[in-house]
Amino acid sequence: MKLNAIIVEDEEISRDIIRNYLSKYCPNVNLLGEASNIEEGYNLINKHNLDLVFLDVEMPFGNAFDLLEKIENRTFEVIFVTAYDHYAIEALNNNASYYLLKPISIDQLIKAVNTVLEIKQKEQQLQNKILETKSIAVHGKITIPQQDGFEILDVSDIIFCKADDNYTEIHLSNSKKLVSKTLKHFEGILKEYTFARIHKSYLVNVNAIIKYKKGKGGSVIVSNGKEILVSASQKSNLLSYFK
């Protein structure tokens, strides 16, 4: 995992030291920019999607805490860098991941970066777990992942699911959703509901079927008007719902 980071530090020599140490000893840090004051730091934070900010406490025209107060929804971790140890309590109150005293120790810098890396890895694992398509405690609903979170669907609103390579199209009454999960995955998620695998490419909500047409396998017409072929091998499975 790479940590996207910036340095906000008014002393050029300190920026050089941090940059060089990161380059040599912290390959997991991807340095995206540097700022020498609060305003430049604020602009860089708004420009990039950051995991980590190395932040000097004392700077011209304000300090680190002034900068953090301007950030409404902070998603990045902060490693404070300062020559003064009396800021430690305030740093902790601002949810600092680590507090480095100048002159910077290489070992402490590595430890600080590893601390942030561990935090971000745990966040990513939790995010991946949240974004898994799954049933939820409220019966009759499932979640499907989206870039900014997840969407909750009523199972009863799903008419059928169609395989599209490693994706699945979920067809609703007036729309469809494309999800990066296989049809087999949805077959497992929806197995406790009345969904029948009628074809290698189709999983159908039996409650949405309004007509069955005879044939070797036959076909079904569902509530949105679509006709879907039934494979011969799945015919008996489908008709078992209508005994």
Q: Binning pLDDT at 50, 70 and 90, where does residue 137 land?
A: very low
Is 132 a residue whose pLDDT tops 60? no
Residue 165's φ and ψ, nearest 5 degrees, are: 55, -120
Q: In this predicted structure, what is the pLDDT of residue 145?
A: 77
- pLDDT tens digit sequence for 45-59: 999 999 999 999 888
C-alpha dist (Å) from residue 24 to 38, 84, 110: 27, 26, 10
Q: Could you please report the per-residue DSSP string of 3-34? A: EEEEEE-S-HHHHHHHHHHHHHH-TTEEEEEE
Is 227 a residue whose pLDDT tops 80? yes
HSE (CB half, 13 Å, CA atoms) of 88? 7
Nearest Cα residue to 184 out of 201, 171, 209, 160 = 201
Is 197 a residue whose pLDDT tops 90? yes
Q: The whole model's pTM is what?
A: 0.57
CA distance 67 to 202: 54
119 CB contacts (<8 Å, ≥6 apart)? 77, 97
89 C-beta neighbours (distance < 10 Å), count: 10
155 C-beta neighbours (distance < 10 Å), count: 18
Q: In this predicted structure, what is the pLDDT of residue 138?
A: 53
Report the range out of 57-66, 93-102, 123-132, 194-203 with the highest average pLDDT.
Answer: 194-203
Nearest Cα residue to 64 out of 122, 143, 126, 10 = 10
Nearest Cα residue to 76 out of 38, 120, 39 = 120
Q: Which two tokens stand for residue 241?
A: 């719902």
* Distance in angstroms between the alpha carbons of the first and the last residue of the chain: 54
